[in-house]
Amino acid sequence: MSADINKIAPTETTEEDYKEFVSRCRWWLRYLGLTGWDIGYRHVADLCDDHGDPCDACCQPNIEGHIAVLSLSTRISESGQSVLSRLAFHEVCELFLADIDGLAKDRYCAEQAINVARHNIIRILENTLFTEKERGRQRAKTHTSKKEKTE
């Protein structure tokens, strides 16, 4: 997530903010089932995106090694728990799409590699969103049957 912190009065992030960012990243990683990545975390000053512009947080994946670093800047454009949650979600989504992003940038990418990456994304979404919906239905059925038994 890139915000021009030169135009907005930046907020200093604390060690507690960093811990919250890491906690939220880990939650999203588990939720999306991104367990095949070795993840490191950093809390750094003067964080910049790929274009050299200041940013609040970033994801630096190594696709071949399935290694990534998720970083939070010591100065962010907004403050608050919801901002840290949004930053964590954004960076985990960057990682979620890293394989297909890497293929899109590869000059000599095989069509089969794109198909595999696309289906990996679909499978993850099926295993999270679809499963979550089914769990909700099961809870509703359980709640309804308990209600019927008491009436």
pLDDT per position in the chain (151 positions), as tens? 444 444 556 789 999 999 999 999 999 999 998 989 999 999 999 888 878 888 999 999 999 999 999 999 999 988 888 899 999 999 999 999 998 888 888 878 788 888 888 888 888 888 888 776 666 665 555 555 555 554 5
Structure tokens at 95: 């990682």
Distance, in Å, from the CA atom of 83 to the CA atom of 5, rounded to the nearest integer, reads 14
Distance, in Å, from the CA atom of 142 to the CA atom of 126, rounded to the nearest integer, reads 23
Burial readout 111-126 (b: 16 or more C-beta within 10 A, e: otherwise): eeeeeebeeeeeeeee
Quickly count: other Cβ atoms within 10 Å of residue 72's Cβ.
Answer: 26
Helix ranges (DSSP H) in the chain: 15-32, 81-96, 98-105, 111-125, 131-150
Structure tokens at 104: 């899109």
What pLDDT was estimated at residue 2?
47
What pLDDT was estimated at residue 135?
65
Compute and round to an integer the Cα radius of gyration of the chain: 19
Q: Is the dihedral of CA 31, 32, 35, 39 positive or negative?
A: negative
Helical (H) or strand (E) element with 59: strand 57-62
What pLDDT was estimated at residue 116?
87
Distance, in Å, from the CA atom of 146 to the CA atom of 27, rounded to the nearest integer, reads 31
Confidence (pTM):
0.75
Structure tokens at 125: 């979404």
Residue in 30, 129, 5 with CA at minimum distance from that of residue 89: 30
What pLDDT was estimated at residue 78?
85
Quickly count: other Cβ atoms within 10 Å of residue 5's Cβ.
Answer: 20
